[in-house]
Amino acid sequence: MTLADEQARTAALLDRLAAIGADPPGITRHAFDERENAAHALAIAEAARLGFEVTRDAATNLYLTWPGTDRAAPRILLGSHFDSVRHGGNFDGAAGVLAALAAVSTLRAEGFAPRADITIAAFRCEEAVWFGLGLIGSRAALGMLPPDALDRRRADTGLTLAEHIARCGGDPAAIAPGRRLSPAGPIRCFLEAHIEQAPSLIEAGLPLAICTGIPGNIRHAAIRITGEHAHVGLPRRFRHDAALAGADLFTALDALWTGEEAAGRAMAFTIGRFHTDTTKHEITVVAGDFTLSLDLRAYDATHLAALEQRLHAIVAEVATRRGVTIDLGPRNAAPVGPCDPALQASLAAAASRIGITTMPLGSPASHDAANFAAAGIPTGLLLIRNANGSHNPREAVDPADLMAAAATFAEWLRAEAAA
């Protein structure tokens, strides 16, 4: 079995995943639902082919384990996720699970024997679009799920996260903060491969990057601005315009980003929802209600905390100036995920030994790997070149680049995990 054989097998699996998720104009693999279940079934079939052990935890995260010669040794954990955003692409998350499968399949065909267990994980519900909270599966696996998470409802079904987990065969009653669900015993490290969600590798002309860190984020999914509905002819000095207050927030945050970027402090913010109340808005009505969402992120915990303070100052200033009230609503946060320096070096060396040129690069996006890093588990992340961005139907990964990630993992395991 060669890597070329694995490339053909992986391409066929990607085609089957695309068929599972087909939702023109893109791909939708709903979290904790039939399509994510079907993706897990594909991975289970691969585990059966390879003779690996298959287990699930109470949150229905999937673990495929190649037993080592020393079952008590700290396991090596690799993985990513299968769910997608609505009408997204076929590679976000799935490429990481398939790269790990291709790596271990190659090693098994070579007759490689691992000393410790090697486990491939497919975590549930990485995308925040489903329950307004991201990285749910890996948070649950590590005992990091917020106490209110199980009561969150999926917007399209109206069912709670607990109900969805139970429908998939899980046990929501066993999920609690501080209770680890992932496979028993120590974890030596967690490795993930993920498509890059910016064009940095396209720009650099390289197939892979060794990630240096994953940003933490603060999210407010439903910021509510309340002013006063009024006649279109009302003079400016009498208005309490919620829409203009929303615009002020947007432009103030953009000015903040511009200043931080000029000072060399990496950050980003995204406003994905930005709208008046569709049941009340009219062309001749000053908007008294406005709703927006906010994702604020940075690579350093202290910097992120300072940015949140700036956010609150901006909110207070806009509310006073526009004569409105601004309710930020529920706050969610994901930790900053620094990648382990030793793993960065050894992954880069593994790639170099097989002729793959890489570069160091911070991830612009959150990943399950961030939770492992925050839990104190050494974490490494490979970023795979991807054209046309992510979270859209035009995601485009060259199969050779995906195999470069698989080959790098395989070479790393040869050097680090032999019996």
Binding site listing for Zn(2+): 81, 92, 127, 194, 391
What span, in angstroms and rounded, lies between the C-alpha atoms of 40 and 44? Answer: 6
What span, in angstroms and rounded, lies between the C-alpha atoms of 387 and 197? Answer: 9
Which residues are known binding-site members? 81, 92, 127, 194, 391
Q: Do residues 190 and 378 lie in contact, with contact meaning Cβ atoms separated by under 8 Å?
A: yes
Q: Do residues 393 and 25 lie in contact, with contact meaning Cβ atoms separated by under 8 Å?
A: yes
What span, in angstroms and rounded, lies between the C-alpha atoms of 69 and 198? Answer: 40
What span, in angstroms and rounded, lies between the C-alpha atoms of 133 and 149? Answer: 8
The CA distances from residue 39 to 32, 44, 107, 402, 415, in Å, are 11, 9, 23, 18, 31
What span, in angstroms and rounded, lies between the C-alpha atoms of 373 and 190? Answer: 8
The closest alpha carbon to 245, from 303, 318, 196, belongs to: 318
Instruction: Find all residues with CB under 8 Å of 89, minimum gap 6, and list them.
Output: 26, 27, 390, 391, 392, 393, 394, 395, 396
Output the CA angle 236-239-243, nearest 5 degrees.
100
What span, in angstroms and rounded, lies between the C-alpha atoms of 25 and 234? Answer: 43
Q: What are phi and psi of 300, to 5 degrees?
A: -130, 130
- Strand pairing partners for 274? 292
What span, in angstroms and rounded, lies between the C-alpha atoms of 137 and 340? Answer: 22
What span, in angstroms and rounded, lies between the C-alpha atoms of 382 and 359? Answer: 10
